Chains A and B, each alone.
Chain A
Amino acid sequence: MIEAPGSNACMKSFLLPEIALLLLVPWLSGCALAHTTINEPLSFAQVQELEPGTTTAKEAVKILGAPADVVQLGRRSAYRYDHRNSKRAGLFLVLVFLFNEDTRTDRVWLFFDENEVLTHLGATFAAGQTEYAMPWTDVHED
């Protein structure tokens, strides 16, 4: 018996390889998530303990620990504290590769006068807002 073109049996044999490949493709795809941090997170509460005009460098180090960097500014100095948080997400779909990286930091700079008394303090806390995302996402959107 000869089946007419377009019959069910003919369609099944015709589509079988394509269906098999379609089922195979998801198994060939890959995704990856990576999370990298540098230094310990900074404590907002501890930074609030610092008072310009009264806190000394010694007291600041006692509260926040050793700085990541010390910059000499003539007879004055500045201490840097930072914590870096990076989240990377990648999706590989055979011929398509999507990748996103979002890196943010907590940063605190302490400025001391020649007597090692804190004069100015600058702080940015953003590490906690780091996101895993795909490239079409605006991670800095409010």
Chain B
Amino acid sequence: MLRILPAFAALLLSACVQFSWNKVSRYAPLDQDAIATLEPGRSDLGDCLELCGAPLVVLETDDGRGAVLIYAWYHENNRGLRLSTPVNDSASVDFDYDRFEANTPGMVLFFDHDWKLSALRQGLILDLTNDLRRRRPANV
């Protein structure tokens, strides 16, 4: 009987303790070689769209004359012992604007009125987009 106890203990423990390997991949990272070819002042919107594809988010610049393109990707790879929690507890990231997770990397491209690339930033999306807000539509 004592020999069976560890097996039963394992079954009971499975309700609260488990080894978990949780991997979440959302969108593919951009090719760094492609990014390296983008040059502020020289590259334009067409070049960027051809090299990087469609962005996740497009915003109007603060002055209302240009555009901001946001590319992001999310990869989580967690392993370890953990208390039992819902499967999607740490996987609730989404890419609607204002809902980026703090650890989401990405790239932000700024274009002027002539669609020339004026600036390129890489890093964590929340840091890069701190000063950006989607403006409400207005009559044109």
Q: Which A residues contact B (CB, under 8 angstroms)?
A: 17-18, 21, 28, 71-75, 78, 80, 90, 94-105, 107-109, 111, 114, 119-124, 126, 135-136, 139-140
Contacts and interface: CB of A to CB of B under 8 A. Distances in A.
Contacts of B25: 100-103, 139-140
A6 to B, nearest CB: 17
B18 A97 contact: yes
A125 to B, nearest CB: 9
Contacts of A122: 48-50, 52-55
The 8 lowest CB-CB distance pairs between A and B, nearest first, are A122-B49, A124-B53, A107-B54, A135-B23, A122-B54, A103-B26, A124-B54, A135-B21
B125 interface: no
Interface in B1-54: 3-4, 7, 10-11, 13-14, 17-29, 45-46, 48-50, 52-54
B21 A21 contact: no
A101 B49 CA distance: 27
Nearest to A21: B7
B101 interface: no
